[in-house]
Amino acid sequence: MADSRDGVLLMDKNEGETSFNVVRKVRRVLAVKKVGHAGTLDPFATGLLVILVGQGTKLSPFLMGGVKLYRATIRLGMETDTMDPTGRIVKTTPVAGLEPGWLEACARRFVGEIEQVPPVFSAVKVQGRRAYDLARKGIRPDLEKRTVTIYRLDVEAVDLPDVTVTVACSGGTYIRSLAADLGRRLGTGAHLKTLRRLGSGSFTVDRALDSGTLESPVARETLEQEMIPLEASLPDMQEVQVDEAAAARIRQGYQPQWEELRRGAGPPREAEGHVKIVASDGLVAVMKTGAAGAARSSRLKAVRIFHPSNPY
C-alpha cells in the first residue's frame, strides 16, 4: 500500500498564520519532506487550505484549477495600499446614502469572465522578483491584466461601510482586486476587510482540521487519521480499476489503449481529459485520454505515476 503519509489534508487556517507556516508544521509533525498546498491564503485570511503530502504533491495541477468559494467582507470608503486590512490607508470617501439596490446591481456586473490586475502586494513575479518585494521598496511594478471567471457574486449583508459577499470564482482570482474594483465602480473605493475560503474544488472547510491541531500532542495521529488517500483526492475524475499486473506495467511506462481498460464499458466521460487508474494498492496513475474521435483507439498518456511505497 502507499505510505499513510501520501495524500491530502484539509486544514482550516487561522488568522495571522501564513500558508507556508501550516505547510512547515505538517512537514514537522509527519516527518515528511515533500509537503505543499493547492492555493495560498494571505495571513489575514482564514479557511480552507488544501495540503498536499508526499506523493500528494503530484496532484497539484489537478487541484489548483478547481472552483474556489469565499465569504468576504468588503469595507467601502477606505482604500489601502495592499487592498487589505494590513495596509496603509491611502484614501477615504463618504459612503452614506449608498443604495443597496445600486450596490447589488454593480456587483452583478462582475459575474462572468473579467479582467483584473493582481495586487501590487502579491506573489506575482516581475522579471524574476516577487511583486511584494518590489512594492516594499517603494517600486510599483507594472502588472499585466489577467482573465478570471466569477461564477457567483452574491451580496449577503449590507451594514455600511461593510458589505458581506460570497464569491465563487476560478483559480487565480484575487478577491482583494475584486473588492477594490467594486469600490471603484461604486465610486467609494474599498478594501478587503476579511476573507474566508469555504471551498476549493470538491473540498469544503467543514471537513477541515483547525490549524491549531498541529500544536496538539496527538497531532501526528490526528493527521494520519484524517489523511485523504490519493485515489480519493480526485473524486470528480473518472476512475478505471485495473488488476495488479496492469498496474505494474503502467508504473513501468506502458501506455494502454482505452479499450484495453474499459472493454465494452463505453468511452471516457470527456472526449479529451484525464482518468485516474486505480488498483488494489491505491492510485496508479493519472492519464490523459485521446482527442475526440480517437478516444477509444488512442493510447492513454501518463501525466503522473504513483508508486505503492514512497521513500522519504
List, by residue number, the catalytic residues.
Answer: 42
With CA atoms as reference, report the closest residue to 135 among 150, 153, 118: 118
Distance CA(133)–CA(128), nearest Å, equals 11
DSSP state of 58: G
Backbone angles phi, psi at 251, to 5 degrees: -65, -25
Distance CA(207)–CA(45), nearest Å, equals 18
Query: 3-state class of 105 per DSSP?
Result: helix
Backbone angles phi, psi at 11, to 5 degrees: -115, 145
Distance CA(41)–CA(49), nearest Å, equals 7
**Across the strands, what pairs with 37?**
51
Instruction: Answer for the pair 96, 103: CB distance below 8 angstroms, yes or no.
Output: no
